[in-house]
Amino acid sequence: MPIDAALIAATVDHLSRHAPFDRMAQTHLAWLAERLKIGYYGKGEAVLAPEHGAAQTFYIIKQGIVRGEREGEAAWLELHEGECFPIGALLSRRAAISHFRAETDVFCYELPAADFHSLLDLSPPFHAFCTLRLADLLAQSQRQTQARYLSASTEQQSLESSLGSLTRRDPITCSPDTPLRQTLEIMREQGIGSIVVTQADAQPLGIFTVRDLIGRVILPNTPLDTPIHALMSPQPLGLPPSAHAFEAALAMAKHGFRHVLVVDDNRLVGVISEKDLFSLQRIGVTQISSAIRTANGLSQLQQAAQDIRQLGHNMLAQGVGAEQLTLLLSTLNDLLTQRVIELECADSALDRICWLAFGSEGRLEQTLATDQDNGIIFEVHAGEDPEAVRAECLVLAERINRALDACGFPLCRGQIMAMNPKWCLSLDEWKALFARWIDAGDPEALLNASIFFDFRPLYGPTQPARELRNWLNRYIHDQRPFLKLMMQNALYNTPPLGLVRDFVIDSGGKHPNTIDLKVNGITPFIDAARIFALSAGLSESGTVPRLRAAAAIWKIDTAKVGGWISAFLFIQTLRLKLHQEQLAQGLPLTSHLDPNSLSALDRRILKESFRQAKSLQATLKNYFQF
């Protein structure tokens, strides 16, 4: 029956509590409400099915629960008050793929398809929601996050700012034949600490900075008529104007640079210094990385570890996405770990270890709650006793593991650390160990594969790690039974979507009424990405790079893969925010989240993210029909 005019205002008020209607203009909401009808469906009754033909109605749940089912599959979708369907079918003017059935008695607002398409043209927020549903919801959530965290941060520009927007003056340059004396005079007159050496067409050749004076001019007593091209640092790093400040910060942190060139079509347009980035943040990426590189003791590294955690808070406030944030945190943690190893190796004659990172560190996906997962590949020279080399490595590894523990990276409760003789092995021993796991295929082997097969080198010669990766990809390619077991194990961990309530939550134990965002949230994405990567022989160890590479190799629709990645990163963002709140309250860091603590918007996105996980698992099952 049509909605009576007296109920239009109440309908508008009700819709305004839910996305995307909460962002639509009142006139457009009124237009919508005037055209709605109310439909009733008893428990168990079909609301919409593929056999009904091309979708003719847009449904908005007013009351009750609607369950989505697909042929031959269990319920994969659960819709509650304020949620809509079947958007994809209406946009494509086709039949629905799923069967939509009333799980309880259900009342729906119903809009004819013609009016649905008219509303798309009328309301930009409605159009954005329908065409980019998950992306649109994520953008809303990010704005909420920024508003929430900015109140606890100083006024800071965003590391999301483009480099083009940060360049304040034309770059000061000189030609490669400019004498040193003239170059220094230009730098003094302009009050700058660096000068870019360019060709006549503004193509950069190198950079000379005040830091170069001592080592390249003063100590060697270099003549002042020396051409600057003989003293410059050649091939300086350049990024396009569209690149973000966090990319420049990441490059500076990783390589120890203090300047990054802004280059457009091989022409120099600006220079970004570490001071420019300092102005964007109270605790800067380059500030932290410089402190780590120059640290000569444990206390300085402990302070750097605290600064890394504070940086995480600041970057959440700036709206930096989970992919960039976890990459940046992992990169800084890498630097800290490398410096710990360097300091410990200074008193050791051992210079032939390849330090491996496993698990989240190996995937470059560390959050603020990260323990240690590491190991060693050591070289054995002709005539040496492997056990003697191992014993020497273990002494060094224990010092490193305990120093990392003191810096806030707890010792692994499962003893997956380099100081454990089980994970301090020669290259041949690692190959033999991996082969035993793959051949055995038991639960312990599957668990180990989920941790150790995400390895990457972190310190020392990288060749042993590359050789191990290439060997693993070749060996596992023909081991279809093990890949099948990995797939079955991955599908066993189902996302916690409820059929009666929104989510399946832990009812008891140490964390009642919570969802484990690590085990049940990100792990389904990680496990699926790992199987795609191992089967295809990919070298990537990170979840997002693996999914992107899989899209090309396995010919998976890029939009579908984009949905998986967005969902994975949203759950990672929730983990980061949860850890930040736990740190602020002095609580132990866990990934157990009470979904009732989320805003209505974030609860909705979390539900959609779990649906994306189910979609990924269905695709995995379809692609690996052994």
The string of pLDDT tens digits covering residues 607-626 is 888 988 988 998 998 888 76
Among 596, 580, 575, residue whose Cα is nearest residue 505: 596
Confidence bin at 404 (pLDDT 50/70/90): very high
Residue 152, pLDDT score: 44
Q: Is residue 518 part of a domain?
A: yes
- Residue 509 reports pLDDT greater than 80: no
Residues 191 and 321 in one domain: no
Give me the long-range contacts of 8-16 (CB less than 8 A, separation at least 24): 8/33, 8/34, 11/36, 11/109, 14/62, 15/60, 15/82, 15/109
Exposed/middle/buried for 541, CB within 10 Å: 0-12, 13-18, 19+? buried
SS3 465: helix
Are 284 and 277 in contact by the 8 Å Cβ rule? The answer is yes
Dump pLDDT digits (tens) for 115-136: 999 999 899 889 877 766 555 5
Dump pLDDT digits (tens) for 77-101: 678 888 899 987 888 788 888 889 9
Residue 35, pLDDT score: 93
**Cα→Cα distances 179→219, 230, 232, 336, Å:** 18, 10, 12, 40
Cis peptide before 86 (omega within 30 of 0): yes
Cα 175 versus chain centre, distance? 42
- Residue 263 reports pLDDT greater than 60: yes
SS3 369: coil
**46-60, 273-287, 357-371 — which is least confidently predicted?**
273-287
Residues 151 and 287 in one domain: yes
Q: Is residue 527 part of a domain?
A: yes
Residues 548 and 510 in one domain: yes
Q: Which domain CATH number covers 261?
A: 3.10.580.10
Q: Which domain CATH number covers 122?
A: 2.60.120.10
Are 431 and 468 in contact by the 8 Å Cβ rule? The answer is yes
CA dist 97 and 71 (Å) reads 9
- Residue 137 reports pLDDT greater than 60: no
Q: Is residue 459 part of a domain?
A: no
Most confident of 294-308, 453-467, 601-615: 453-467
Q: Is residue 125 part of a domain?
A: yes
Cα 96 versus chain centre, distance? 33
Expressed in angstroms, the distance from the first to the final Cα of the chain is 52
**266-280, 315-329, 496-510, 540-554 — which is least confidently predicted?**
496-510
State the Cα angle at 40 between 39 and 42, rounded to 5°.
155
Dump pLDDT digits (tens) for 5-14: 678 889 999 9
Residues 533 and 612 in one domain: yes
Confidence bin at 155 (pLDDT 50/70/90): very low
Residue 278, pLDDT score: 61
SS3 2: strand
Among 58, 101, 62, residue whose Cα is nearest residue 78: 101
Across the range 362-369, mean pLDDT stands at 84
Q: Mean pLDDT, the chain, as a whole number?
A: 86
SS3 82: coil
- Residue 385 reports pLDDT greater than 60: yes
Helices and strands (H and E) in the chain: how many: 24, 21
Across the range 230-238, mean pLDDT stands at 91
Residue 282 DSSP code: S
- What's the Rg (C-alpha) of the chain? 28
Give me the long-range contacts of 196-202 (CB less than 8 A, separation at least 24): 196/171, 196/172, 196/236, 196/261, 196/268, 196/271, 197/173, 197/228, 197/229, 197/232, 198/173, 198/174, 198/268, 199/175, 200/175, 201/267, 202/173, 202/267, 202/268
Residues 181 and 311 in one domain: no
Backbone φ and ψ for 579, nearest 5 degrees, come out as: -65, -40
pLDDT above 70: percentage of residues in the chain: 89
- Residue 565 reports pLDDT greater than 60: yes
Residues 264 and 293 in one domain: no
Final residue belonging to a domain, choices 278, 305, 321: 278
Are 111 and 58 in contact by the 8 Å Cβ rule? The answer is yes
Residues 140 and 125 in one domain: no
- Residue 340 reports pLDDT greater than 60: yes
Residues 10 and 119 in one domain: yes
Q: Which domain CATH number covers 573?
A: 1.20.120
Residues 123 and 46 in one domain: yes
- Residue 249 reports pLDDT greater than 60: yes
Q: Is residue 495 part of a domain?
A: yes
**76-85, 238-247, 356-365, 481-490 — which is least confidently predicted?**
76-85
Residues 262 and 301 in one domain: no
Helix axes 322-345, 245-255, angle to 10 degrees: 10
Q: Is residue 377 part of a domain?
A: no
Domain count, the chain: 4
Q: Is residue 562 part of a domain?
A: yes
Among 496, 491, 497, residue whose Cα is nearest residue 524: 491
- Residue 504 reports pLDDT greater than 80: no
CA dist 355 and 344 (Å) reads 13
CA dist 179 and 228 (Å) reads 6
Residue 485, pLDDT score: 93
Are 410 and 402 in contact by the 8 Å Cβ rule? The answer is no
Final residue belonging to a domain, choices 278, 304, 327: 278
Residues 267 and 290 in one domain: no
Final residue belonging to a domain, choices 278, 295, 318: 278
Across the range 415-434, mean pLDDT stands at 96
| Higher per-residue confidence, 133 vs 293 | 293
**190-194, 226-230, 353-357, 491-495 — which is least confidently predicted?**
190-194
Are 256 and 134 in contact by the 8 Å Cβ rule? The answer is no
Q: How many CA atoms lie within 13 A of 360 on its CB side?
A: 21
Residue 183, pLDDT score: 94
Q: Is residue 227 part of a domain?
A: yes
Amino acid at 14: H
Among 19, 37, 44, 38, residue whose Cα is nearest residue 99: 44
- Residue 605 reports pLDDT greater than 70: yes
Across the range 137-146, mean pLDDT stands at 56
Full domain range(s) for residue 88: 5-131
Backbone φ and ψ for 26, nearest 5 degrees, come out as: -60, -35
- Residue 60 reports pLDDT greater than 70: yes
- Residue 151 reports pLDDT greater than 50: no
Are 319 and 150 in contact by the 8 Å Cβ rule? The answer is no
Residues 496 and 618 in one domain: yes
Cis peptide before 20 (omega within 30 of 0): yes
CA dihedral 90, 95, 101, 106 (to 10 degrees): 30
